Amino acid sequence: MRATWLEIDLGRLAANYRRLAGQLGPKTRVIGVVKANAYGHGAVPVAKRLLELGAARLAVATAGEGAELRRAGIEAPIHLLGSLHPDEAEDALKADLVPTLATLEAARALSALRPGATVHVKVDTGMGRVGVPPDDLADFLAEVEAMGIEVEGILTHFAVADEDPALTRAQLARFLAAVRPLKKRYLLHAANSAAVLAGIGTDLDFVRPGIALYGLPPDQSLTSELSPILRWKAKATLVKTLPAGHGVGYGLTWKARGGETLATLPFGYADGFHRALSNRGFVRLGREYLPVVGRVSMDQTTVLLKTPPPPDAVFEVVTADFDPRTSLTGRARALGTINYELATALSPRLPRRYI
Ligand SMILES: Cc1ncc(COP(=O)(O)O)c(C=O)c1O
């Protein structure tokens, strides 16, 4: 056990899941997005809980992530998001994943390995990243189905669901216009968290929420009806005072005036506490905000206290709220990034405790 760890509240995960499920049409089911180690929260325990809560399927970003879930005994369908690269086809099939298909090269690689492989085809309705253009969809489907590939579903992804509902509805309309003329009935899905919360695309066959399951708002606003499910805690490895003029950390960028109480905490940027928080970030102890002093190093961070802490004090590195200084969402804003990036940066080497 390290003296720093993450606590993940699976009860709050359930509350967020129910909040999202309450938005859905009667036949719409959830694909729980657990890529990037469930956005840093730990893929296997989160995936298992989501399935218990009623999620029909899961989604990951790499075949390796899918294989990890299979090794843990998960049997539910697992989607491989993105756009399958031919190099990943074999591993995707080995882990029994449902690849997302958007190129003929990937289709050929799949059919060479396993005729009859099941896929979902991605349409680009405006994101401009991956996907078949809507006008090419019918021809693309005909070509891949002629290779023997089983196209079970068709999806698209929204580019601005968190900021522009009108444009998102236009993307959905483009998607529906592209699939309407098709002769076969495919399973359809489009909505990410922001779209689910906005009620856009919530009556197709599936929705694909990620960030909101973890209680983090997709639009980066500080208030939300969601509950963050993760806390990051730490105990001090050393509490000390330094004489006037003594520097702290690489580069000696902070100097003691003399007599201040400092605590050295056992985590650093390799754990996902960004180096940009050097001389700028905060952790919390009770109601007090303790500023980071000196540079954040790979494995250690130093903070300034007003008074000596009680023995075995537990410092909160990330709070499960929307605090502008210590929550994932607030800190992301302060750093000019998004909560997605801070959550997925939480290193696998941090122990995770589930409550
Ligand atoms: C294709 C696809 N669907 C769904 C999601 C989930 O998005 P969010 O975490 O915003 O709900 C993602 C995440 O990036 C994605 O790439």
Q: Are 205 and 70 in a shared domain? A: yes
pTM of the model: 0.97
Q: Are 166 and 246 in a shared domain? A: no
17 given a catalytic annotation: no
Q: Are 42 and 159 in a shared domain? A: yes
The 8-class DSSP code of residue 180 comes to: T
Strand partners, 188: 154
For 99, the enclosing helix (H) or strand (E) is: strand 98-101
* 228 pLDDT above the threshold of 80: yes
Q: Which domain holds residue 83?
A: 10-214
Q: Which of 35, 48, 122, 233 is catalytic?
A: 35
Tell me what percent of the residues of the chain surpass a pLDDT of 90: 97
Q: Which long-range contacts (CB under 8 A, 24 or more apart) does 247-251 make?
A: 247/294, 248/293, 248/294, 248/302, 249/278, 249/293, 249/294, 249/295, 249/296, 249/297, 249/302, 250/294, 250/295, 250/297, 251/294, 251/295
Residue 294 belongs to a domain? yes
Q: How many domains does the chain have?
A: 2
Q: Ligand 1 center to residue 192 CA distance, Å?
A: 5
Q: Are 278 and 165 in a shared domain? A: no
Confidence of residue 224 (pLDDT cuts 50, 70, 90): confident
Q: Are 33 and 172 in a shared domain? A: yes
Confidence of residue 222 (pLDDT cuts 50, 70, 90): low
Among 214, 242, 271, the domain-final residue is 214
Q: Are 108 and 248 in a shared domain? A: no
Among 186, 214, 242, the domain-final residue is 214
pLDDT, position 1: 86
Q: Are 176 and 247 in a shared domain? A: no
35 given a catalytic annotation: yes
Average pLDDT, the chain: 97
Best residue among 30, 84, 208 to mutate for probing ligand 1's pocket (most ligand atoms within 8 Å of CB) is 208
* 137 pLDDT above the threshold of 70: yes
- In the structure encoding, which two tokens stand for residue 235, read together? 């105990």
Residue 193 belongs to a domain? yes
Residue 262 belongs to a domain? yes
* 307 pLDDT above the threshold of 70: yes
* 198 pLDDT above the threshold of 80: yes
Q: What is the mean pLDDT of residues 197-215?
A: 97
Q: Ligand 1 center to residue 210 CA distance, Å?
A: 6
Best residue among 81, 197, 219, 338 to mutate for probing ligand 1's pocket (most ligand atoms within 8 Å of CB) is 81
- State the CATH number of the domain containing residue 108: 3.20.20.10
For residue 9, which of 192, 195, 213 has the smallest C-alpha distance?
Answer: 213
pLDDT, position 234: 98
Cα–Cα distance for residue pair 206/28, rounded to 1 Å: 5
* 82 pLDDT above the threshold of 80: yes
- State the CATH number of the domain containing residue 237: 2.40.37.10
* 256 pLDDT above the threshold of 70: yes
